[in-house]
Structures are given as C-alpha cells and as structure tokens.
Amino acid sequence: MGLLIGEVVSDAAVLKPHGVAATLAGRSITFAELDAEANRVAHALTAKGIERGSLLAWWTAGTTASLPALLACARLGAVFAPLPPTAEATEMAAILDYLEPRLLVVDGPRADGAADFDVATLTVHTGRPDDLGVLAQVASAAPVRAGVAETDPHILYLTSGTTGAPKGVLVSHRATWLRSSAGGGTFGGAVRGERGVLSSFPLHHYGGWHYVIEAWLHRTAIHLVPRADAESLHAAVARHRPSAMYCIPAVWERVLAAPGDLSCLAHADTGTSRVSPGLVERIRARAPHATTTVLYGSSEAGPMAALRDWELAGHPGTVGRPISPGVITIAEDGEILFRGPTVMNGYLGLPDATGKALAGGWYHSGDLGVYDGDGYLTITGRKREIIRSGGETIAPVEVEEAIRALPGIEDVAVVGLPDERWGEIVCAVVVPSPGATAPDTAALRARLGSLPRHKHPRRVRTAASIPRTGATGQIRRAQIRDDLLAADDEAGLWPNSGS
C-alpha cells in the first residue's frame, strides 16, 4: 500500500470506529464517520473534475469539513492547498493566479468575494446546491482507487519568499507520514489512548496538519481550536483533558498568563522560534506531570531537530540534535543544511527557487547555526532577511511596500528584532515626508488594514534617512538592526517584549 495519507485513518476506522478522530468548536467526528465522509467527498470532487495531479484550493475559516477534504484529495492523488482565511480579496487573487487551482472551496463569509475570481468554486456550510457537504451527502461511500504513489505531492503550504511573493511548498505522502512519525516520537506514549492531542495551530499552516496526521497515526483524537487565545485553549483543555499539547512560545505565554488546570498534560511541546529556559520552567510549573520538547523545523523540511526534556537543563538555548532519519550539516558560510526523506518535493511552478533550496541534495534552510561539542545545534541568525515571528515567515519587502504606500511616509525599512515571546518581532524604521507627523506604532498598525495582522510592525522608530548601499541603493538591514539593538540596550529596553 505504501505510506499514503489517504489511508492514514483506515485502520482506526476498523479498529476504533467509534473513537473520536477530531473536535473543533463543539463538533466532533469519529474515525468511521471520517473515513466514510472522505470517500463521499472524493466522489463528489471527482464529479467536479478533481483527479490525480489536480490542485484544490481551500479558503475557509477553521472547520472540520477540511479534514475529509484533505483525505479525499489524498485518495484521488490530488493536492490539497489550505489558504489563510485572513487573506484579503486582492491578496487571494494573486495567490490564485499563482496556484491555478482546478477548484476553489470557500465558506459563506468568503463566497461573495470568491465570485470575482476566475476559478470554479464550491462552498461549505451554506446549504446551497454548490455546497460540497450537500453534494457529498448523495455521493457514494465506496472506497476510491486512484493509483496514487507515495512520492506524489498531496498538500501545498504557502510560505513567503524574500520578495513577499508566495511560494507553494509541495509535500509528498511519504514525507508527511515520516514527518508526523518523527514528531510523534517526541510525545512517546503520551498521544496514545482516548484523550488525544490539543494543537493551537490553524489549519492553513504546516503545523496544523502536522499534528492532525500525528494524532491519527496514533489512532487518537486531534483537538482543534477556532482561535489560539488563552480562553479557547483553556476551554479545550477543560473539556477534553488532552494528553499532549503544542503551542509556539507566544501562545504558551497567553496560556500561562490565564488561570486554568493543565495537570492532565503528559507532554507539552513548543518551538518554531527561540525558547527561553524561563518559559520552559513556567510550563513545567503549570503542567507538573508533563515533559517538554523544543522542536526546530520548517514547512520545507518538517521536524529537523529536537531538544528533549532530559536535555533541557544541560543545553539551554539550543534546538537539540537532528531527528532521525534526517541529517544536519553546517555549510562553510554557517548555513544549516538538512537532508532526509521528509524534505519537500519542491516549490510549485518555481524550478529556479526549488533548485536553489535543494542544491546539492540538501535543503538550504536560510538559518545560520553552530554545533557545540556534544552535537547540539544552536541557531545564531538568519542568512536571508525573512523574519520569523510566532511560527510565521514575513518578508520585510512586503511590509515595506504596504507602509510606503501610506500618505506621509517618504521611506521605510523593516527588520526583525529578537523577542522572548515571538522569536522575532517586526520593527519598522520610517522617514516621514516633509511636514508630516511621524506615526507611532498603534497609529501605523491601524492604517495597515490590507496587510495580515501578523505582518504588522510591533515597533516603530523614526529616522531622518534610511542607510543604503551606494552602488545599488539596497537597504543596509544589518546596520539598522545593530543600531536599534544598541539603542535599546543603552535605553534599558533589552530584552524586547513585543506585545
């Protein structure tokens, strides 16, 4: 059969038919229901032209309807592309022009905007004749046989390039299976049983689907939340009493700042950005029965390294050692290179970018790092200028263009600054136009409605000019960043605490 994502719940549907596969916003679905619904959705999609190699774009708020849709695409050999629900119509139009999907699925709030796109569209949760759920109700539940290979791509994750233009990360069935198997090894036995895994990631993000598949591989439930806020997460913990929970550092900060009982947790993971030893200690205090692992990875490669619970005290500040079967080496320029069966197939329609990212048979991470004498890896910086904040990648150029388009802004530079909660925060250095008033952080953020909120600057500074190179006029980001850090240190503002 091979490592096929479409079959990831098949055993559980037979062995645990009434076991809960997923919960979200008061809804739940069992393994037997999920398996049958995936077949019905697959037949409904086939009738709409989805076949092996097709791309299905999914633009909705978080919904359990996306779960059988992912499996249906996998069973058909199609590619499931979850898109950010916060994207504005203009941003989505550019994304769809790049993806060229065979079909777009939207929910009710996005249906009117989708009518302007030049792509065939279905809806969910509308009850209309074009509702995928309505179409699936009258479709066959017979198994689908499509001749899928485990090396075929089954999912696409959007990530930001150095210009801010989207890149679609294509990941194969085999890579996804092995990624979640490797990740599940960090939980050990904690995800087994009926209590399941609580994930704070949204379902347009690699992390969201990683933990969905990981839970299903262990034949246990994935508990999802509509928002990664403290109220939603504590409510999910109280209701489901999960065995395992994953949050990025910024989300853990919210959870720990609010009251709630976390004693049910056997494992509490974190990662994707810098993790302070103090945060780990506070997690342990609130979840006294849990072990904690710090994970390092990316959409392109999956989990690359892990710092296990018993290693935290001896190697604070590192991201641990490579996760088998992957291998990490450090290039001559200090870049972290990764090789293993979990690496992506490539970027959709971007052969040059793919060739550069996978040159020499290694995934070039763009991160800089060093090994210590015990083989533990420390991230020392970013080779590229991409900002990583709260698990999201942000292109400075995209933010600069949005700010530069505002009235009263003559010039702007955007850099990432280290932050204990977010890993990095976006900082904008602006040069006001003559006679204009320099905006403060709140005022600037309020004027950036078309830019996704996670890309908004969390700090704004004013300057008379932006340092640039003489020959090409390129922004001297390293100089700006160093000057800002020096000024913060002198003013007693270090470490940062972006809100």
For tokens 């194969």, the residue is 172
Give 313's contacts (C-beta < 8 A, 6+ positions apart).
none
What is the mean predicted confidence (pLDDT) over 25-31?
94
d(CA 275, CA 319): 9
Q: Which domains does the chain have, with CATH numbers?
A: 5-292 (3.40.50.12780), 387-490 (3.30.300.30)
Q: Backbone phi, then psi, for 304, in 5-degree steps?
A: -110, -35
For the chain, give the mean pLDDT.
90
Q: What is the pLDDT of residues 220-257, one digit of tens each?
A: 999 999 999 999 999 999 999 999 999 988 889 899 99
Q: What is the pLDDT of residues 396-450, one digit of tens each?
A: 888 888 898 899 998 999 999 999 889 999 999 999 999 998 888 888 888 888 7
Beta strands in 325-382 (DSSP E): 327-330, 335-339, 346-347, 363-371, 377-382
How wide is the angle at C-alpha 300 spanned by C-alphas 478 and 225, nearest 5°? 100
Q: What is the pLDDT of residues 329-375, one digit of tens each?
A: 999 988 999 999 999 999 999 999 999 999 999 999 988 889 999 99
Give 405's contacts (C-beta < 8 A, 6+ positions apart).
none
| Closest CA relative to residue 220, chosen from 211, 229, 228 | 211
d(CA 315, CA 248): 19
pLDDT of residue 71 exceeding 90:
yes
The per-residue pLDDT for 498 is: 41
Q: What is the pLDDT of residues 464-491, one digit of tens each?
A: 999 886 444 568 888 899 899 988 655 5
H-type alpha helices, 310-469: 351-357, 396-404, 441-446
| Closest CA relative to residue 294, chosen from 379, 170, 401 | 379
Q: Any bridge partners for residue 171, and if so which?
A: 155
| Closest CA relative to residue 461, chosen from 439, 492, 490, 434 | 439
Q: What is the pLDDT of residues 164-200, one digit of tens each?
A: 578 999 999 999 999 998 665 555 555 555 799 999 9
pLDDT category at 162 given cuts 50, 70, 90 is very low
Query: What tokens appear for 440 in the block?
Result: 């403060």
Judge residue 381's burial from the number of C-beta atoms within 10 Å of its C-beta, 0-12 exposed, 13-18 middle, 19 or more buried: exposed
* pLDDT above 70 coverage of the chain, percent: 92
d(CA 181, CA 196): 15
Element (H, E) at 80: strand 79-82
pLDDT of residue 499 exceeding 50:
no
